[in-house]
Structure formats: structure tokens, C-alpha cells
Amino acid sequence: MYKNILLKIEYDGTDFCGWQIQPDVPTVQGQIEEAIYFLSGTRTEIKGTSRTDAGVHAMGQMASFEGDIKIPTERLAYVLNNHLPGSIRIKEAIEKPLGFHARFDAKGKKYIYRIMNCSQRDPFKRNFYYFVEKPLDLPSMQKAAAYIEGKNDFKCFQAAGSTEKETTVRTVKNLSIKKESDEITIEITGDGFLYNMVRIIAGTLVDVGHGKISPLDMPLIIKSKDRRKAGHTAPPQGLYLAEVFY
């Protein structure tokens, strides 16, 4: 039976060269497409909402595909998981109308960035946090974060050399920073994100926390549209695609 299926996916991105399929290297998309091929006998391209980079994780990546799938939709996640590595899990499979597209029909996303702020690195957490040894000034980071919320041209938070976008204007609906023990969690929700935008925001906030950038400079940095004015790009290990909104 020909169906359009939306998959909700979580994965540990440590062992993958990102989401997007590439020749001769392991990718999340490639692994899932192989599992679908094993079940259906047909090569099918799945369309992911976000092309996460190497080392980036997901709790709620969404991807859609169309094909002749004889397995009942409510059983599809279970069956696919039997043919996927333990680092990838299909959380849910939902049948959608033909023409639905996981990426183009998305209304927004939520990302989480995790920082471990302590002097001793934990080797068992190295793939899941950004370890920052020097103490961070949380109130200053929170003050800076407040300036990022809203609709702005966020070109300053786009990776240098990125493919030109039709527009670099985005709306950050919420940006919160919380600390529990040594763990700092940055949560950001928006209608869309530029390439490396969340990692650059996280790195900029860390620079604020270290006193390298003043929170009061944030409006000027955004207004400049200059990547060189913002802070460093935080590493991929701390980044998680948490949720996609439709």
C-alpha cells in the first residue's frame, strides 16, 4: 500500500558523519534508508527536517518518505528498530497525506544545548556535553540571552562561508538558560535556524559568561550582521534537536 510516513527519530550522533547521506561514510539518513530498503525492497529517500552535523544528537528529529509499505503503520517503528543500530531509534511512525513534507511543512524547532561547567571532565559524558572548566557567570548569560529573543536578522550567528540564504531573518521565540549543579542547559525555540546558528549562540553566551563579551553588546552584535563580532562556535557534542513543530 502506497503511503506517506512521518518518522519521529532519536539518535546519538557520535558515530555518524551527520544526518545527511554521504558516500562511503556512516550517516543517520543512510542507516534508516537501508532499513527501509531491507523491509520494502525499494530504494527510498527520506526527507529530514534538520541536517544535523557530525556529533550532533536528536531527541525529536522528523523525517518523511513515500513508498509501498505493506507493514501496518503502527508496527513500522518496531520493525525498523530491529534493523537499526542501537544508536538510532524510531520513536513513532505516523501516516500523513500524500504531499506532506517533514521539512517544508515544519513551523518551528526546539534545540537544547548542554554544558558541563566543572574543572574535572567526565570521560563518560564527553560525547554529550560541552565541557567548560572556567566558572561561567549565569546571570550575565541570561541577560545576554534576553536580547536574542524576537525577530531579527541573525546573520552574525551564521557560519562564515555558508550558502547564501534568501533571508537571514529568523524569529527566536524563546531562549532560556538554566543551571542545575554543574550542568547548564540552553533551550532555544524558533521558526527556523541558520547553519550553525545554535552552536554560535551557545559559544557567544559562553564568551559572555567568561566576561569576554558584555551582555549589553548583544544588540550591537546582532545589528552588525557580522559573524566576526559574535563569539566562538560551540562544539557539536552538546547540541540536541529536541522537537519539531507542525
What residues are labeled active site? 53
Q: List Cα–Cα distances, 45 to 5, 86, 141, 159, in angstroms.
A: 12, 21, 41, 27
For residue 94, give the C-alpha cell.
505516523
Beta bridge partners of 63: 7, 48
Helix (H, G, I), strand (E, B) or coil at 36: helix
How many whole angstroms separate alpha carbon 108 and alpha carbon 224? 25
Helix (H, G, I), strand (E, B) or coil at 82: coil
For residue 151, give the C-alpha cell.
525577530
Smallest CA-to-CA distance from 60 within 6, 20, 126 is with 6
CB 92 within 8 A of CB 43: no
How many whole angstroms separate alpha carbon 246 and alpha carbon 141? 30
How many whole angstroms separate alpha carbon 22 and alpha carbon 30? 8
